Amino acid sequence: VSGFLMAKELEYLDGAITHGAKPMTAIVGGSKVSSKINVLKSLIEKCDQLMIGGAMIFTFFAAQGLKTGKSIVESDHINTAKEVMRLAKEKGCELILPDDVKIADSFSNDANTQTVRVGDIPDGWMGLDIGPLSALYFVKRLEESKTIIWNGPMGVFEFSNFAHGSLMIAEALADLTELKGAITVVGGGDTVAVMKQSGFADRVSHISTGGGASLEILEGKQLPGVTQLDDR
């Protein structure tokens, strides 16, 4: 027997992706496109909507020729971002990026801040959270989803001034689970930390404790240990 926790992990993570009720939405955040490329490609194949937040949005904006100030941009992965956008269009998965961002003049909770439209980030400023309008729009677009998978925060949630986007998503998932019966699956260490920080951790369907293994399941990989168990 694979153990209760592993069984629950597979039921929710693999089950949600492979057999999840539609409409299905994935929310992917974090800082790097490069670390999530296989997850993004796998989710595009299965989801109706893919929302992207976190610092990786700036690589997508750079791929569209938009100004990004001194936000984190993986310049060697701009073509990767273009490939993700092309694949989403090809597969009929709607790719949803923020329209506004909260920016700062330094990487600090005490930095000067302003909210601007994407593409209007001044030189010397960096994006540290999705903007309030985008957070509201993301929440609105989640309302019809029957299955929601979240991996990666929307901003630098460790700084209270840049936690708003992540906390809005956390609350929305809790509400949709309780009020609409949506299946909500949260994975990734930072995302789990957001759920705990928000106080909504016990109000979603499943919080993955699988770490890297949960990413591999999201990528559609068969884990060696699980394959052996299945073969018995």
Q: What is the mean pLDDT of residues 152-179?
A: 98
Is the pLDDT confidence value at 226 over 50? Answer: no
Rounded to 5 degrees, what are φ and ψ at 117?
-70, 150
Q: In this predicted structure, what is the pLDDT of residue 209?
A: 75
Q: What is the mean pLDDT of residues 50-60?
A: 98
Q: Comparing 58-67, 125-134, 188-197, 212-221, which segment has the lowest mean pLDDT? A: 212-221
Q: What is the mean pLDDT of residues 73-100?
A: 97
CB 147 within 8 A of CB 113: no
The chain-wide mean pLDDT, for the chain, equals 90
CB 198 within 8 A of CB 167: yes
What confidence category does residue 230 fall into, taking pLDDT thresholds of 50, 70 and 90? very low
Round to whole Å and give the CA distance between 87 and 8.
31
